[in-house]
Amino acid sequence: MRIVVLDDFDLGTEDLARLAEHGDVVVYQGVPRDDEELVARVGDAEVVLCSWTRMDGPALDRLPRLRMISLAATGTDTVDVETAARRGVVVCRVPAYATNAVAELTIGLMLAVKRKIPAADRACREPGGRDWRPFLGRELCGGTLGVVGTGAIGRRVARIAHCLGMTILAYDVCRSEELVDEVGATYVPLNRLFSDSDVVTLHAPLTPDTEHMVDGPLLARMPRHAVLINAARAGLVKQADLYEALRSGAIGGAGLDVIDVACPSTQGLLALDNVVFTPHIGFNTEQASANLAAICTDNAVRFIEGRPCNVAEPAC
């Protein structure tokens, strides 16, 4: 059996050894430039492990020997799961490997924006830059956090925020009674969550139903001091509308671990001083990376052994 590690996915020595027990392993670096390179890399492999590569229908149709894709990710938006299922290709994902990592970065972004930490740091590095007066902040304690998406990460963020003294509002199609019991979360309609929150944090998956769910009218409901945090998927937010809300001062700020670099508003967004950016590092801790590699490898091994797990199902 030929097993291909398709892109920049850091497998440890033990993970590679486990795969090698089941076939010939080929490891590539970098994301394929196009479908031609993708198809050439995969070739006659039956099992592929990948992280960043987009595998859509036309590419999958050109890989007749492919039987399984082990995604080094929780979401499946990089793979056409419906086409894979039609072709008999099993797609497996890695649930909840970075729950703590993403939740902690989310809290860090809240503090960075609310307390103007990056700007204060830059000022301290300039001659005479020890003046504290430009950096009046707002405390999280006593404020209201709106959590959009109360899966594992959203619940973890809510628990930490509750410990910091925040009141929790929540929105999800599936209500978590556990969260209600633990932190007294109140589930409310999305409009009310945006109207009544000092900070809104996004933890929903990107689906056709959630794409651009945060748009101009919804942002207009936020208090002028309120902050939006997105450590989930850039596509949840209509970026041009967010840029305008931030530029005009309609909302107080944003903390963004994800942005749509192809959007025309990107350069303007990056120039704003009321936004804190990170380059999609929410998952990127030593602990989470080790979890990711181990579970992704285990998904491939268990499939080969006839015991598939963490299988992603096509949308209904």
What type of residue sits at position 39?
Answer: V
Burial class (CB in 10 A: 0-12, 13-18, 19+), 105: buried
The one-character DSSP state at 316 is: -
Indicate the average pLDDT of the chain: 96
Q: Are 77 and 310 in contact (CB under 8 A)?
A: no
Beta strands (DSSP E) in 16-114 are 24-27, 47-50, 68-71, 90-92
User: Per residue in 241-269, pLDDT tens?
Assistant: 999 999 999 999 999 999 999 999 999 99
Spatial separation of the C-alpha atoms in residues 99 and 73, rounded to whole Å: 12
Domains, the chain, with CATH or none: 2-97+286-304 (3.40.50.720), 99-277 (3.40.50.720)
Place of tokens 């305008």: 244
pLDDT over threshold 60, residue 38:
yes
Q: Are 228 and 242 in contact (CB under 8 A)?
A: yes
User: Per residue in 75-85, pLDDT tens?
Assistant: 898 999 999 99
Question: CB neighbours of 248 closer than 8 A, spacing ≥ 6?
Answer: none
pLDDT of residue 316: 46
What type of residue sits at position 88?
Answer: G
SS3 201: strand
Spatial separation of the C-alpha atoms in residues 118 and 140, rounded to whole Å: 17
Question: Both tokens of residue 97?
Answer: 């490997």
User: Per residue in 161-212, pLDDT tens?
Assistant: 999 999 999 999 999 999 999 999 999 999 999 999 999 999 999 889 999 9
